[in-house]
Amino acid sequence: MTTRKDLPRWLSWLPFGLVPSISPEHLARNPEQYLLIDVRTKLEFNKSHIPGALSIPLHTLTYDLIDKLPADKPVICICLSAHRSKPATRKLIRANYSARELSGGMRAWWKAHLPTESSGGS
């Protein structure tokens, strides 16, 4: 595995470096087998997101909230370009979740013309 649970806390928030990932095409085959967490802002999420994804902006992803997430499925962290998803993925791994990021983020998802939906509100 490319991510270690014993990283110093400040290092785990870096938006670069390797974390486990999944391609958009692979995720699109069976999205229901994953817990999808979109860590973009609510505004970004409301404009376009993967059906079934939960909106949990990165700055709100606390360990208290993580403890309330279902642990019966692997987690896929999603952002715009696979930068905000890296620290989210590291945090979930540190909390003993099986977690990966979506390679290329929503930009790669859109480029592959995969399904999205939008939400009302802000």
Q: Is residue 8 part of a domain?
A: no
Q: What is the CA radius of gyration of the chain?
A: 13
Q: In this structure, is residue 11 part of a structural domain?
A: no
Domain span at residue 25 reads 19-111
Q: From CA 87, how far away is CA 17, in angstroms rounded?
A: 10
Residue 9 lies in a domain: no
Q: How many CB atoms lie within 10 A of CB 115?
A: 10
pLDDT of residue 120: 73
Q: Does the residue 77 lie in any domain?
A: yes
pLDDT of residue 15: 56
The count of structural domains within the chain is 1
Q: Would residue 38 count as lying in a domain?
A: yes
Residue 14 within any structural domain of the chain: no
What is the structure's pLDDT at 14? 55
**Of 76, 94, 74, 98, residue with least CA distance to 85:** 76
Query: Do strands 99-102 and 21-22 pair parallel, antiparallel, or not at all (unpaired)?
Result: parallel
The CATH number covering residue 23 comes to 3.40.250.10
Separation CA 97–CA 93 (nearest Å): 5
Q: Tens place of pLDDT for every residue, the chain, 122 residues?
A: 334 455 555 555 555 568 999 999 999 999 999 999 999 999 999 999 999 999 999 999 999 999 999 999 999 999 999 999 999 999 999 999 999 999 999 999 999 999 999 987 54
Is residue 31 one of the residues assigned to a domain? yes
Kindly report the pTM of this predicted structure. 0.85
Closest CA to 108 of 26, 51, 7, 12: 26
Residue 7 lies in a domain: no
Beta-strand pair 75-78/99-102: parallel
